[in-house]
Structure 1
Amino acid sequence: MHPSPQPEAAPHATPDEFRAALSQLAAGVSLVTVHDPDDGEDVGMTATSFLSVSLEPPLVLISVREDSRMDEVLTRTDTWAVSVLTEEQKTIGSRFAMKGRLSDRLLFADTAHHRGPRTGAPLIDGALATVECRTEQRIPAGDHTLLLGRVLEAVVPDPAGRPLLYFRGGYRSLG
């Protein structure tokens, strides 16, 4: 038996190659929110990087760009929330994802929401589900920080709702 040839060390995939490959993976769209304890402001970011990690204990994971306001605030507070958006909430997902967007204060002023009872973070009214979390662990990962969160409360207000999906660079709905 001959050993398998060892491939030469290949350079990493380029960011464009990586983005193109992962655009083939459909993902649910969520809004991650936090209440800044220092200035009392709310901060939100659209995310497709929200996933379940464990049922016992209930743990989830989010990925946050390390130079973002969200990452900055999450170094000062350990509570945050996630609202899973419905297909009717495409505008919310788009507005909180824009580069050079309006201030979070203006975005939240135009977005129907309420305070989470466990975290005080904004929860989007009409969301498919909401999850309130406390950070268990921060994990540096390239240009992002992964936050492992313990679920403090999870609510599904409308089990018949339809999720907003992100696929091939755009929002989609279940067919």
Structure 2
Amino acid sequence: MGTDKMPAALEVLQQSFKQAMRGFAGAVSVVTVADPLNESERSGFTATSVSSFSATPPMVVASMKATSSSAALLQRTRRFGVNLLREEQQAIAQRFTGFGGEAGLERYGSDAWTQLLADGAPVLVDAVVAMDCEVDELLERHGHYLIIGRVREIRVAQEAPAPLLYWQGRYTRLAETRAC
């Protein structure tokens, strides 16, 4: 049975899964990757897949497509930044998707970037949360990498600005919170 056609039941399940996952609101982060020895060699991607993995030691987990322009650079440098975006930073999120044709250093635009550590990845100066991480493990499964990263340094914005969210296929913001 050498057919490239996906069984109808699997195709239906995959479409249902995609629709179901749109119901999970996710905080929007930009994951940055750079060669600390070559300032012009930078990449990065937008992710809603960033989450905590462990508090002891502090670790995060994220996923990216194995075909991402950031994959080879991350494998080589083993360093990445996590930038939780503010609700007004939708343009940054969009630029890091690469859907507009931006690649590499171009994705960084004219936004203010810094490093938390001398050998670290770039982080946004005004991110809600910025973390410098080191790859602990990269697992390749089903065309994606699961990135497990050890947090090396953290900066949290003082005024606790609202994060940018992604839900039902679009960027959105938190509603006013009420005590339950």
Interval of TM-score (by shorter of Structure 1 and Structure 2): 0.7 to 0.9
Does the alignment pair 1:24 with 2:18? no
Query: Unmatched 5+ residue regions in structure 1?
Result: 1-9
Does the alignment pair 1:61 with 2:54? no
Aligned partners of 1:49 and 1:79: how far apart in 2?
17
C-alpha displacement of 1:65? 0.5
Corresponding residue SS for 2:94: helix
Normalised to the residue count of structure 2, the TM-score between the two structures is: 0.84
Quote the RMSD (CA, aligned, Å).
Answer: 1.9
Does the alignment pair 1:162 with 2:175? no
Aligned partners of 2:170 and 2:20: how far apart in 1?
14
| CA offsets 1:67-110 (integer angstroms, 9 cap, x no match) | 11111111111111101001011110011113252233223242
Corresponding residue SS for 1:114: strand
Report the CA distance shift for 1:20/1:136 in structure 2 as closer, same or farther (over 3 A). same
Aligned length: 166
Corresponding residue SS for 1:87: coil
Corresponding residue SS for 1:20: helix
Structure 2: which amino acid aligns with 1:35? A
Normalised to the residue count of structure 1, the TM-score between the two structures is: 0.86
Query: Unmatched 5+ residue regions in structure 2?
Result: 1-8, 176-180
Report the CA distance shift for 1:161/1:49 in structure 2 as closer, same or farther (over 3 A). same
Structure 1: which amino acid aligns with 2:117? P
| CA offsets 1:5-52 (integer angstroms, 9 cap, x no match) | xxxxx6475443222110000000000001136854111111001000
Aligned partners of 2:72 and 2:12: how far apart in 1?
28
Report the CA distance shift for 1:159/1:16 in structure 2 as closer, same or farther (over 3 A). farther
Aligned partners of 1:98 and 1:77: how far apart in 2?
21
Give the match for residue 5 of structure 2: none
